[in-house]
């Protein structure tokens, strides 16, 4: 046996993050399926994905108290988005959902960066 055959597969940080996304989204969707609301589950999973990706992009700011306040504000902004977008429309497929995901990411990331600009001056 050569040394190459003993190489163990290791999970990269990106792979760990992808698993975290899956572990957060699947149980959420299953809960909404249990309550017979898969359309709300779809919207919630999309918002969770945008939130987690934005949190990963701004994770270096986590020591600041305002960071967590900005995250709470961003989640509060997402709630009407989840509730009032007609997710039951079957026209929402890959490209449209990707657009919602990107907009959701920009919303969360923008709230955090706005707070960063405001509180870094103080």
Could you give the number of structural domains in the chain?
1
**93, part of any domain:** yes
Residue pLDDT, tens place only, 3-28:
566 767 777 888 888 888 899 889 99
**79, part of any domain:** yes
**6, part of any domain:** no
**50, part of any domain:** yes
What is the rounded CA–CA span in Å between residue 45 and residue 27?
Answer: 10
Average confidence score pLDDT of the chain: 86
Residue ranges of the chain whose pLDDT lies below 70 = 1-5, 7, 89-92, 122
pTM of structure: 0.81
Residue 113: domain span: 11-121
What is the rounded CA–CA span in Å between residue 117 and residue 4?
Answer: 49
**5, part of any domain:** no
Among candidate residues 38, 35, 13, 12, the one with its CA nearest the CA of residue 25: 38
């Amino acid at each position: 046996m050569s040394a190459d055959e003993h190489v163990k597969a290791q999970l990269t940080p990106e792979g760990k993050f992808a698993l975290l996304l899956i572990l957060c989204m699947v149980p959420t969707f299953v809960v909404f399926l249990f309550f017979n609301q898969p359309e709300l589950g779809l919207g919630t999973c999309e918002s969770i994905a945008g939130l987690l990706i934005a949190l990963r992009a701004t994770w270096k700011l986590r020591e600041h108290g305002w960071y967590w306040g900005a995250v709470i504000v961003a989640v509060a902004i997402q709630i009407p988005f989840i509730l009032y977008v007609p997710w039951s429309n079957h026209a929402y497929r890959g490209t449209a959902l990707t657009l919602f995901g990107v907009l959701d990411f920009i919303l969360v990331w923008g709230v955090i960066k706005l707070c960063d600009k405001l509180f870094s001056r103080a």
